[in-house]
Structure 1
Amino acid sequence: MHKNIILQKWKFWMFFIICFQFCCLAQEISELPNGVKGFWTQGSLNNDFLNDWKAQWIWLPESVKNDVMLARRNFTLSKKPESSKFLITASSKYELYINGTYICQGPARSAPHHQSFDIFDVSSLLIKGENCIAVRVHYQRGTTSYHLNGRAGLLVQLDIEDETKTKSIVSDENWKVHPDLSWDSNSKPISRFQLVVNDNINLNQKITGFELINFDDSKWSQGLPLLRNSGWPSPKKDEKAKSLTTPWTSLIPRDIPYLNETDITPIKLIEAKQVPIEDIEKASILLSGGIQKEVDKSYEKYLKGKAPLSIQLSETDKVWFLLFDFGKVISGMPKLEIKGVKNTEVSILSAPFIVGDVFTHHIVASNFKDELVLSGKKDTWQAMYFKPARYMAVVIKGSPVEIYDLSIHQLEYPFELKGHISTPEAPWIEALWEASVKTINTCTTDAFTDNYRERRQYAQTGYYAAKGNYFTYGDFALQRRYLIQVAQEQEAGGLMPAYAPLTGDDYMVILDSNCLWVRSLHDYLLYSGDFDTVKELLPSAKKLMSLLHSYTNGLGVLDSPPYAYWLDHALNDRRGANLCLNGHYQGALKDFSKILEWLEDEHAQLYRNRALLLKESVRTQFWDANKELFVDAVIDGEQSKMFSEHANAMALAEGIATQKQAKVISKFLLAKDKHNFIKRENGVTMVTPAMSYFLHKGLADYSNEEAALNMLNTRFGHMLEPHANGTLWEEWWRNGTGRIGKFQERTRSDAQTESAFPPALFAKYVLGVEVTKPGMSEVVIKRRKVNLFNIDGEIPSPHGILTVSWDIGNESSLNLNIPEGMLIKIDLDSFNLEDKKGIFINGEKINNSNFLELRKGSHKISF
């Protein structure tokens, strides 16, 4: 017995030693409010400590049908603990309280077959005597895990040292549970792209104070431990529930930081008037900028904290419409403290932007509308799920109300901005850099999502988003997680889904997404140097590349593949062998061969050879000598009659075009003809914002740096006009579509991380920085052909910040500050000097050579 006690205490304290070591080395700790610490890891902590689960998954009794469960457990401690280990996860969202204090929400997005759980030290909130854990959980109906049905559940375990033993409080039948009767389980989805829903709340039924220690839960039910609910034979009734049960067949410690949660208040009230009820039903409010005088006076007092915002009784057949501006797009849950006559109906409408003078909360297939019924008392409410909102409207039907607090509870990934660029002679470069930063931040909570309406972690999104991220935030956790989660959904044949985790039975396949997953793996290794993760994912990558190869013809070209490909829905000839798709495949072949080379894998040459064959085949088979452009596709040996910027951009970006071909293509692409962002005057289909990365890269790679960057400014510049949000859009317009050639009067997303690639272009073609070896251990710097005389930049790396400063004049210089662990190779040929003997390094002449190698420290190259 004595040995068992010693072993238990040893394992308990070793957990904290391990967490402390990982936190110090990899910043794997988040400081949450009230002294709570949140642990996370980019690697694998010792499973002997993290997976020592005693808890059982629990939910409401089978006879109770509700999507929201309130759960609580009181327990007694003989003394206040110095430390604790608290583990929690749920399907699908939890809100955690300890002794009445809100901690956070979670877990991070995951599929149940690799269920993410959170880890805390909550000892700062525990007390001697009686304590209480309380959790509110919402289940997103419809979630699936491969072929297993989704399931509602909560899993909690608290381990603390209590005198001579480890005391564990676990979720089991000793917990008290109750449905949240205020919640309508028929609440409407926010979007067709996801399972999260709007709130439909009757505050008359709200159970208040359930998170407090002294709350009376004597009439609540016992928690129902969950046994396996699929497969034959069924489990026996006397079996004991475990922490692993279908569909939660694996538990994975959180691998990204915890989100920052902050209450944000609006910057101004921009509309306050009564409108016809039918206008609300049509979701279309014509704005006049008018604020009713009494409301204006009341709002002034509200802002000063002297009184609530008072709204009088509305007229018959009208409702009050109050529209607030938060100044920027915020991902967060609308929040109200309000008092009105019992059964007063209040709606909260959210929108990220306003087009023209019309407010709508419908953004394509999204509906950001929460509906409340007031209790007659002072009610507090916070939406279950976040909305992307710059503008939030409060619609009040009938009786007068008093608003005591109105805000948005923001969820924000804890990005740390590290990268920077300064180009005084071209301020638009700085503006696009900042817009990329803002776009990534706007669309990111617990994943790089395509935009704020779909919220899906698409495989191609990770590629483009990371292009901006690596040079601005320098975050690796999100990218690592995306690569892993897509691979976790890989089919046996090698195919990967377009997004992960899956949220239903829609196993969407996009072949270019598959190619871009491989390319993302290459970039992740290049910038992070995380060989361990890449080695773990290598079998998945090999399986995928083998599958793609099986779709090629004798010329090594992907030809009539059995799955769809995206190309951002743009008009493109998708019959037979498509050049743009093969451009993605060409890039995947090159990048994968490089991964294998870095891993010293003998098969690297095989993929290099496949890339060379594909390159030669596309160069010859897809080139229209009369048009002097590459065609969209080749169908049964016949060239398509369709031409696009997509195809020709890929031919440049992937180095397929010869110098002669590139010269005429570049001239054609750079011609300043008329266009409507769908087609050019000559009939060629234009790239969409995401695909334009390859257009600008390709032009710059063939010595058109200045022109390529100017085109970038011309095409994206209107997104940064004063009336917009300063983010980069999903399409060229917010109220139409630039993809299919048919204009549609509907809104699109004005923040899409697939458009946030400019920092990667600026780093290479303005600063002259190109990373050449994993972990940014080697970086080549070239002087670029841009007409700028003063360029300053800071580039994050695993080793620290690389500082680059160009001063071009009669006495030119390049100033560098290099972190330890990085080798800088200066390409002296790019300086275009007749005599390299005129180059000095830190005041000393250098030998006539092609490259100058520099390591840690500050260096000045004069020329």
Structure 2
Amino acid sequence: MRYFFINILFSLLFFKASAIEKHWAAKWIWAEEELQAEAVMARKSFELGTSPKQAIVKITASDFYQLYINGQYVNRGAARSAAHHQSYDCIDVKGFLREGKNLIAVRVVFEPGAQSYQFEARAGLLVQMEVDNQVIVSDDSWRLMEDSSWDKESPVISRFQRDVCDNVDMRSYSHAWFTGDFDDSSWSFAHELMRNAGWPAHQKGVRATASINPWIKLVKRDIPMLKEELLLKPTLILTKNYLEYPQGLVSEKVLLDGTVDKAISRGISKKERFELVFQEDEKGRLLLFDFGKVMNGFPLINIEGISGTQIRVLCAPYVLNNHFCASLVDAKYEDRITLSGKRDLWEASYFKPCRYMAVWVENSGYPVTINQIALRHISYPFEQKGLMESADAPWVKDFFTASAKTIEICTTDAITDNYRERRQYAQTGYYGALGNYYIFGGMALQRRYLIQIAQEQMADGIMPAYAPLATSDYMVILDSNCFWLKSLWNYYLYSGDEKTVRQLLPAAERLLELLHGFTNEHGLIDNPPYAYWLDHAVNDRSGANFTLNAHYLEALENYSELLNWLKEESYDGYMSKAKTLRGSLQKLFWNEESGLFVDAVVDGKQSMQVSEHANAMALALHIATQEQGNKISQNIVEEDNDFVKRNSGMTTVTPAMSYYLHKGLCEYGSVKASFELLNKRFNHMLAENTNQTLWEEWWLHGSGRTGKFMPGKTRSDAQTESAFPPALFAGYLFGLEPVEPGLKRWALKYIDSGVENLKGVIPVGNAQMQIEWKVGKKQSLKLVIPQGIQIDVDIKSLDAKGTVWVNKQELRGDATTMNLTEGEYNITF
């Protein structure tokens, strides 16, 4: 009941804040329903008596829009959201407007299919421009035309999303439709959308409004707009003539043999147009470009050729074994364009992960002129605030940088698992935070996924594995639900955002109540009705699984601590459940003969399977006794190069689960061995011929989950779940641990990691904390602590004799902890 009233209070506060904005007078618009249009272009002309002093556009659409004002491209959106909490953008457009006649133009593409676990999808555009005291809104006065160049049968990029490859016929495209000189008199007027579900139907005289199904709540964008950058000078690395039509060009593996047309290469480097002249027997020409690093972007080409000429634009994030292929990573990155005979400017509707871009041009009997090859690079506006490096161990900075690159390529309007799935998984956000908090110090993306997944919570309390929905693939993963709970604790620890956390407590309570219903007399989740992930690795999932229950244990303990921070009396009930569960894991799963914890217990009997997954969790969460931990650690750190199964029969963790393995080894004293193992397993990902990002699996050309190579199957070379090293470094190289919400208080101790000299910059809110360790003949610690932060230094870890000097003053007394606040400190020991 308490949480009910808290929710009501927050709802009133949010309503009061949103009421300050001007009322939505705009209506959702689209083409007439019988057209079943999936791409439309909309225009509205209006007059301004003077140059505006202020002008804001509030705009959203399903699925995405491209906004133009007076012929100039402004931006695209909207941010991902479920339709029942539709995200809208607020954009300052004063610089695009002028006195006199003005034009706002928008292209919208809608992909049919599920967008939410709660509502059916629907196509629509909503625009409200507020210029001084004048308001221009989307309604039935707008001109609107279906984009007939768009092929409704365009193939999906991958099975994980609704995004499709472009398949456009520029002969049917309305060139220059977004400019003021374009004649739209033949276009239809827009159709205002009304509620189209439920009985009874609308009565006569009911007006269209901005709040209709499925858009029952409009939410102002709560993350920054994405950065957009037009990259114009790729490097030409290959030209190839085709004497036969390629069969399935998208899946063809093109050898990079170094053959390059130097004339074309010079033209591109100087941003000059160039002409392709074909030989009589030539069927087509392939030009392959390298943008230098993997990015998310929209391929763009400005091209002239005879009407009907076929163009294909193919992208790939990396090349494998010196071969280019556009069907990597369980996806197809191929767009097809049919030229109009005019000067065609085409830009992809959906972004691709792209480092390499190939343009295949058909020989239609006439030359083709290419005026521009480009990529509109999109990225979340991260600002790197943190740093970790060592002069003695270059790998520290290498892995820190690789983590940053990995998060950047996996992030657009959400931190997603990788670039092939693009889903906002609950566990992805947890792992992403381990890198994000120490590299960028950003909180908005973490807050957003917690809220958006909670918005899709089911009546029984379960949460989907990811949200918003990207396909009709309804997916519940129990460990993702545990990760959501852990992420709530994690978010509060790093942000101190009590308002959001309290708003989400009722969702957490419903989820925990459901999970408790899956437990047996030992407090173990046993034969649950939902699947669980464990990164699809080989693991015994019968009965009560150790790794799943360890995630549940961590969720219970984290949530109990969260409630204690919030001074909620109910925290001890969850701690009591955690105590029972911890005891059962310690007692029932330990196998003395193997010296390991087994994967599962079925009807009281231990499974024969063992894995690094289970034993990593046993170490990381201190489930193992010290003696058990020593045995596990010794088993794991032994030389064993198989990325699938160790010689002992123990299944090897995947990159995603490696965080717990290395954390666990460090917790039981094997710090040096842990980082040696990290280098052995991940170092090949940083080779010079790679993107130096952290991969989805140990191999790019097979499955590291089953150990069986799968011909034609590849994996992403960037996965957010692998970007955990910064948190590992903070804890076990620098010896730092945050202990109070909002990062207001930290614990610090010296750890003998084998890395003697370390420099770090740690983001704390809007400030930065600096730390420098020097260990050798002269041992010292330098700290710069910003205002409002306290660091509790473990004195005993510095010197067993207790001889410590702080700013040249000897520390005296029997204190075991030194409490340092704002200032600069030079500590020698």
TM over 0.5: yes
Matched, 1:360 2:325: yes
Q: 1:258 aligns with which of 214, 221, 225?
A: 225
Q: 1:60 aligns with which of 21, 25, 31?
A: 31
Count of residues paired in the alignment: 813
2:338 aligns to what? 373
2:59 aligns to what? 88
For residues 501-525 of structure 1, the C-alpha deviation after alignment (integer angstroms, 9 at most, x for no partner) is 1134432000000000011111110
| Alpha carbons 1:529, 1:775 under 8 Å: kept | yes
Equivalent position SS for 2:240: strand
> One-letter code of the match for 1:342?
S
Q: What is the TM-score of this pair, normalised by structure 2?
A: 0.96
Looking at structure 2, the residues matched to 326 and 729 of structure 1 have their Cα atoms a distance apart, in angstroms, of 20
Which aligned pairs between 1:394-409 and structure 2 lie closer than 5 A? 394-399=359-364, 400-409=367-376
Change (3 A) 1:858 1:215: same
Equivalent position SS for 2:409: helix
Q: 2:89 aligns with which of 108, 118, 126?
A: 118
Displacement of 1:178 in angstroms is 0.5
Larger displacement relative to structure 2 (818-827 or 117-126): 117-126
> One-letter code of the match for 1:90?
A
Displacement of 1:634 in angstroms is 0.2
Matched, 1:388 2:353: yes
Q: 2:519 aligns with which of 552, 558, 563?
A: 552
> One-letter code of the match for 2:728?
L
Displacement of 1:398 in angstroms is 1.3
For residues 453-473 of structure 1, the C-alpha deviation after alignment (integer angstroms, 9 at most, x for no partner) is 100000110010110000001
1:466 aligns to what? 433
Which aligned pairs between 1:269-668 and structure 2 lie closer than 5 A? 269-275=236-242, 276-281=244-249, 283-291=251-259, 295-305=261-271, 307-313=272-278, 316=281, 318-399=283-364, 400-668=367-635
Larger displacement relative to structure 2 (607-616 or 750-759): 607-616
| Alpha carbons 2:154, 2:167 under 8 Å: kept | yes
> One-letter code of the match for 2:278?
L
2:5 aligns to what? none
For residues 437-478 of structure 1, the C-alpha deviation after alignment (integer angstroms, 9 at most, x for no partner) is 000001111100000010000011001011000000111000
Displacement of 1:426 in angstroms is 1.0
Looking at structure 2, the residues matched to 315 and 844 of structure 1 have their Cα atoms a distance apart, in angstroms, of 87
Looking at structure 2, the residues matched to 76 and 828 of structure 1 have their Cα atoms a distance apart, in angstroms, of 72
Change (3 A) 1:661 1:315: farther
Looking at structure 2, the residues matched to 707 and 794 of structure 1 have their Cα atoms a distance apart, in angstroms, of 25
For residues 756-809 of structure 1, the C-alpha deviation after alignment (integer angstroms, 9 at most, x for no partner) is 000000011111111011000001111012122211100101151010001113
Unmatched 5+ stretches in structure 2: 1-12
Looking at structure 2, the residues matched to 799 and 829 of structure 1 have their Cα atoms a distance apart, in angstroms, of 31
Identity percentage over the alignment?
47
| Alpha carbons 1:97, 1:103 under 8 Å: kept | yes
Looking at structure 1, the residues matched to 334 and 596 of structure 2 have their Cα atoms a distance apart, in angstroms, of 49
Looking at structure 1, the residues matched to 782 and 797 of structure 2 have their Cα atoms a distance apart, in angstroms, of 16
| Alpha carbons 2:423, 2:470 under 8 Å: kept | no
| Alpha carbons 1:799, 1:822 under 8 Å: kept | no
| Alpha carbons 2:771, 2:783 under 8 Å: kept | yes
For residues 606-643 of structure 1, the C-alpha deviation after alignment (integer angstroms, 9 at most, x for no partner) is 11121111111111100011111100000000100001
1:143 aligns to what? 114
Equivalent position SS for 1:435: helix
Equivalent position SS for 2:20: helix
| Alpha carbons 1:51, 1:251 under 8 Å: kept | no
Looking at structure 1, the residues matched to 301 and 661 of structure 2 have their Cα atoms a distance apart, in angstroms, of 47
> One-letter code of the match for 1:349?
L
Change (3 A) 1:402 1:843: farther
| Alpha carbons 2:234, 2:269 under 8 Å: kept | no
Looking at structure 1, the residues matched to 233 and 694 of structure 2 have their Cα atoms a distance apart, in angstroms, of 23
Matched, 1:759 2:723: no
| Alpha carbons 1:443, 1:753 under 8 Å: kept | yes
Q: What is the TM-score of this pair, normalised by structure 1?
A: 0.92
Equivalent position SS for 2:251: coil
Q: 1:72 aligns with which of 43, 56, 79?
A: 43
| Alpha carbons 2:282, 2:363 under 8 Å: kept | no
Displacement of 1:843 in angstroms is 3.1
Equivalent position SS for 2:313: strand
Q: How much is the aligned-residue C-alpha RMSD, in angstroms?
A: 1.6
For residues 145-169 of structure 1, the C-alpha deviation after alignment (integer angstroms, 9 at most, x for no partner) is 33432111000111222xxxx3211
Looking at structure 1, the residues matched to 56 and 705 of structure 2 have their Cα atoms a distance apart, in angstroms, of 51
> One-letter code of the match for 2:72?
T
Displacement of 1:705 in angstroms is 1.0
Change (3 A) 1:442 1:314: farther
Looking at structure 2, the residues matched to 119 and 147 of structure 1 have their Cα atoms a distance apart, in angstroms, of 26
Displacement of 1:88 in angstroms is 0.6
Looking at structure 2, the residues matched to 684 and 51 of structure 1 have their Cα atoms a distance apart, in angstroms, of 62
> One-letter code of the match for 1:686?
T
| Alpha carbons 1:266, 1:324 under 8 Å: kept | no
1:38 aligns to what? none
Change (3 A) 1:144 1:268: closer
1:695 aligns to what? 661
> One-letter code of the match for 1:119?
C
Larger displacement relative to structure 2 (769-778 or 266-275): 266-275
2:815 aligns to what? 849
Displacement of 1:312 in angstroms is 2.0
Equivalent position SS for 1:763: helix
Looking at structure 2, the residues matched to 804 and 45 of structure 1 have their Cα atoms a distance apart, in angstroms, of 43
Displacement of 1:50 in angstroms is 3.1
For residues 285-324 of structure 1, the C-alpha deviation after alignment (integer angstroms, 9 at most, x for no partner) is 33142435xx32232133224x422222255473211111
| Alpha carbons 2:256, 2:324 under 8 Å: kept | no
Looking at structure 1, the residues matched to 264 and 44 of structure 2 have their Cα atoms a distance apart, in angstroms, of 43
Which aligned pairs between 1:811-850 and structure 2 lie closer than 5 A? 811-831=778-798, 833-850=799-816
1:134 aligns to what? 105
| Alpha carbons 1:799, 1:821 under 8 Å: kept | no
Equivalent position SS for 1:71: strand
Q: 1:740 aligns with which of 691, 706, 723?
A: 706
Displacement of 1:842 in angstroms is 4.8
Change (3 A) 1:462 1:110: same
Equivalent position SS for 2:149: coil
Change (3 A) 1:474 1:91: same
Looking at structure 2, the residues matched to 155 and 282 of structure 1 have their Cα atoms a distance apart, in angstroms, of 36
For residues 25-48 of structure 1, the C-alpha deviation after alignment (integer angstroms, 9 at most, x for no partner) is xxxxxxxxxxxxxxxxx9888211
Looking at structure 2, the residues matched to 452 and 222 of structure 1 have their Cα atoms a distance apart, in angstroms, of 38
| Alpha carbons 1:363, 1:453 under 8 Å: kept | no
| Alpha carbons 1:72, 1:177 under 8 Å: kept | yes
Looking at structure 1, the residues matched to 245 and 686 of structure 2 have their Cα atoms a distance apart, in angstroms, of 35
Unmatched 5+ stretches in structure 1: 1-41
Displacement of 1:850 in angstroms is 0.8
Larger displacement relative to structure 2 (59-68 or 539-548): 59-68
